[in-house]
A and B are shown apart, each in its own frame.
Chain A
Amino acid sequence: MKKNHEVWVFIEQRGGKPADVSFELLSKGRKLAQTLKGTLKAVVIGHNMKDVAKETFRYGAQEVLLVDHPDLEFYNTLPYSRIMSELVDEHQPRIVLFGATFIGRDLAPRVASHTKSGLTADCTELKISDVTYLRKDYKDLLLQIRPAFGGNIVATIITPDNPVQMATVREGVMEMAPLDKPVNGTITEIPYTPNETDTLVQIIERYHEENKVNLKAAPIIVAGGYGMGSRENFQLLHELADVLGGEVAGSRAAVDAGFIDHNRQVGQTGVTVRPKLYIACGISGAIQHRAGMQEAKKIIAINTDPEAPIFDVCHYGIVGDATEVIPMLIDVYKHKLK
């Protein structure tokens, strides 16, 4: 049997609009496919998706598998997972990547279960490498790297003995790299045959709350952790962000404690950001959090604990109580502007 070196990316769309994470994954997938000397393919499912299909060529897709049908306009678990599973069964791609979004995390496990493939959630890095596992040599395996166990360890997961390796990746983790010249790729249309099981769950209502927060675009982010102590103390971060023209964010611990809303969470299970300046206040710096912010151009850490791991990734470290340092910082900054 000829070795299959295809890398697939599931292109997620909401209301016909492709998700950023899908293009980020194509950009990563392109590199993986180059290392494997294989091809990069995009799987597009939806209605009137021709333009989205063509857009994937800008991110390196060489072929699009397009399933286009009015019934598929909105994501629905059963038809989408059936289509995807059938495609994977038939073509046996070497790698399949999904965004770790609500849709991706609903779809990928079902497809992996059906095709008996390995699936690793929320990878922060993907690489191709030869691996020796239990004294056996494997060529060109996908290394699926993710923090685990409350962020105290980084695990490298492999899928040594199965033909298909699957992974999900959060939005913003991989960098989007459009090509100067789009690939002259092909679109292969695959017919959709409705199945009676496809409608066992029907969507009767949908409401979108426009996410007004756009952390990814903010040049300056003032982030707080559990160490800020309370939602009231987070007000200081809002003041600082206002003065500097930035956005406020929080660590998972701060979100869990109710200090700040979930849509402002930075880290492995939140948003990954690359601002000009990231000010981490009362954040200890667990690896999940660092995974979401360590590529900021400049990082200032303010923490009472000089041993906090956040100091290992920052450029400027302030050992002190953020609730005292921030008002001082605001005041000094305002004086400078005068």
Chain B
Amino acid sequence: MSYNSLVLVKQVPDTANISGEVMKPDGTVNRGMLPAIFNPEDKVALEMALQVRDQYGGTVRVITMGPPKASEMLRECLYMGADEAYLISDRKFAGADTLATSYVLAEAIKKIGDFDIVFAGRQAIDGDTAQVGPQTAEKLGLPQITYAEQVQKIEGKKITVKRKIDGGHEVVVGQLPLLITAIKDAATPRPFKAKRVMAYKNARTLMEIEKMAEANSLLYVDQLKEEYISKKLFIPTLTTDDLDVEIERCGLHGSPTKVHKVESVILGSSDHEKIEPTREGLAHLIDKLMEDHTFG
């Protein structure tokens, strides 16, 4: 029996490598300056899905909701081995919190359909919330297995998964279809295949095709799109027009949580005592800590 997987992926700012120039003078982060990367645990989720396909057959399709720029990451998914990649993109989706994000993703999944397992990374490094996976599962009425470390086997409609829990592990058996979130240690993402890079480096989303048409004063976007579809280089792109979404549940508007205030964490100078990195300096420090009974 073969199994079809959908993988939820996200392009994120590389928050681990924030340099000084990324900070604006007012202390906020200039998102545009940050390099965008493939969220690490989503990449692991894709690898897990590819391993299921390697073992049992079936398809692996990835879905991202994000700005047009996310097409870079979708091409990477194709290089790794995804059969197809979908971009969900619309200005009306911008500013979404996890609830509004999961709403749109769930609607996109309903539209795309034909799946046994939805994989997602446990969390994205820009927010670390780990909420979108479970919320998408809830919206689709699917069971969920979070913190998955390993898919042990799939038999018929039953999947056996080892997952992490507080202070240990458990092994669960779930009824397909369901949603799985993967943790970092679950798999090592495979490198890009050179042949696939050559094949898909020219894959384009609708927005990219529109841009191309505009730049070349071509009026026939539809024709250009057909050309890409026939060459199997079209990245299906879904907007509010293509999904059965209620606009008021999307984006900032559909988000119950709002950012009220953002403060930079530039600290004032502190009045700590400077200790010289010498034997004398350290002896003095130890004396002080013995005096106030921090030691002993």
Contacts and interface: CB of A to CB of B under 8 A. Distances in A.
A120 interface: yes
B134 A333 contact: no
A277 B290 CA distance: 12
A318 B275 contact: yes
29 contacts: A78-B143, A81-B138, A102-B146, A105-B146, A113-B102, A118-B255, A121-B128, A121-B129, A122-B128, A150-B125, A153-B28, A155-B259, A156-B262, A201-B174, A201-B175, A204-B171, A208-B167, A209-B169, A277-B295, A298-B289, A309-B267, A316-B273, A316-B275, A316-B288, A318-B274, A318-B275, A318-B281, A318-B285, A332-B286
Interface in A109-131: 109-110, 112-114, 116-122, 131
A200 B174 contact: yes
Nearest to A319: B277
Interface in A289-338: 297-298, 300-302, 309, 311-321, 324-325, 328-329, 331-333, 336
Given A208-B167, A309-B267, A336-B283, 4 more contacts: A109-B132, A113-B135, A150-B126, A207-B170
Nearest to A298: B294
B206 to A, nearest CB: 29
Contact of B256 (A77, A147, A162): A162
A62 interface: no
Interface string B241-279: 000000000000001111111111101111011111111
Contacts of B99: 112-113, 116-119
Nearest to A78: B143
A317 B279 contact: no
Interface range on chain A: under 10, 10 to 19, 20 to 34, or 35 or more?
A: 35 or more
Contact of B261 (A110, A112, A156, A336): A156
Q: How large is the interface on B (under 10, 10 to 19, 20 to 34, 35 or more residues)?
A: 35 or more
A203 interface: yes
B201 to A, nearest CB: 30
Interface stretch (B15-23, B49-57, B77-85, B111-119): B15-23
Given A77-B143, A204-B173, A319-B274, A149 B126 contact: yes
Nearest to A336: B286
Contacts of B129: 109, 121-122
Contacts of B263: 153-156
Contacts of B15: 149-150, 152
Contacts of B59: none
Given A315-B273, A318-B281, A328-B277, A106 B146 contact: yes
Contacts of A156: 259-263
A91 to B, nearest CB: 18
A103 B166 CA distance: 8
Interface string B124-158: 01111111111101110001111100000000000
A162 B256 CA distance: 6
A73 B272 CA distance: 51
Contacts of B270: 311-314
A336 B296 CA distance: 12
Given A106-B134, A157-B257, A211-B167, A244 B146 contact: no
Given A102-B165, A336-B290, A318 B277 contact: yes
B256 A332 contact: no
A271 B104 CA distance: 34
B145 A201 contact: yes
B44 to A, nearest CB: 14
A4 interface: no
Interface string A140-152: 0001100111111
Shortest 5 CB-CB distances between A and B: which pairs?
A150-B15, A320-B277, A118-B256, A312-B267, A208-B168
A227 interface: no
A153 B279 contact: no
A135 to B, nearest CB: 13
B74 to A, nearest CB: 24
Interface string A218-258: 00000000000000000000000000100000000100100
A49 interface: no
B164 interface: yes
A205 interface: yes
A219 to B, nearest CB: 9
B29 interface: yes
Contact of A121 (B28, B130, B138): B130
Interface in B3-44: 13, 15-16, 18, 23, 27-29
A206 interface: yes
B171 A158 contact: no
B166 A101 contact: yes
A35 B286 CA distance: 44
Nearest to B15: A150
B257 A114 contact: no
A159 B168 contact: no
B168 A206 contact: yes
B167 A210 contact: yes
Interface in B159-183: 160, 164-175, 178
Interface string B68-99: 00000000000000000000000000000111
B212 interface: no
Contacts of B27: 153
A287 interface: yes
Nearest to B283: A332
